Amino acid sequence: MFHKEGFKIITIAFLICAVLSVSAHFLIENIYIEKGIIFVLFVLLVLILQFFRNPDRKFQLNPCKILSPVDGKVVVIEEVYEKEYFKDKRLQVSVFMSPLNVHVTRYPIGGKVVYSKYHPGKFLVAWHPKSSEENERTTVVVNSQEFGDVLHRQIAGAVAKRIVNYAKEGQEVKQASDSGFIKFGSRVDIFLPLGTQINVALNQKVKGGITVLAKK
């Protein structure tokens, strides 16, 4: 299964690979070069297909748990001052995604979207300390009965050049449903109330909508 954000790119990539493969067959006399070109095109197409995959998962929804919004590796767990929305201290958990990870962004908690904003910016590497404040990003806050306001922020990186955000202020959303998509790698920051029990460790691999990041 592939995510809808990849349909156009997959179609274009398939057509380009098909045209180049046919052209190589008719224009290149050396069979080894021809086969080499076709093999490279096939690998590129497979990489694009796996990037936009959207595997079917059985989510175990729980309003008393914060689920990881994306696949990747936990790179930050710390108390920080969040200055865009809360303007006070929060617990930040950040998940870094490589181009090989599933890139669907899911709501870590269900509730009402009370804030959704896009910020243009730079494309620093996703693990750069200032990427959370200076890179292109979107900030979404969902109000839940159990945790209050929970913020998750999609952050573009050096490779990621497009962030898709579906969240609209005022809408009710379900935990683990699609919140957006980041094309070609990056990270997501989650900001939680102080005192929230963190359920993951640094460098731990997590799965979007499956791994419990925190709980009451």
Q: Which of 116, 132, 179, 186 is catalytic?
A: 186
Task: Let me know if 21 is a catalytic residue.
Answer: no
Strands (E), the chain: 65-67, 72-82, 88-97, 104-106, 111-119, 137-144, 148-156, 162-165, 172-173, 178-183, 186-192, 197-198, 205-206, 212-215
In sequence order, the 6+-apart residues with CB closer than 8 A to the CB of 103 are: 3, 51, 52, 70, 71, 97, 181, 182, 183, 184, 185
Helix (H) or strand (E) run with residue 32 in it: helix 31-51
Handedness of CA 195, 200, 203, 209 (dihedral sign): negative
Under 8 Å between Cβ of 191 and 94? no
Question: Which of the residues are catalytic?
Answer: 186
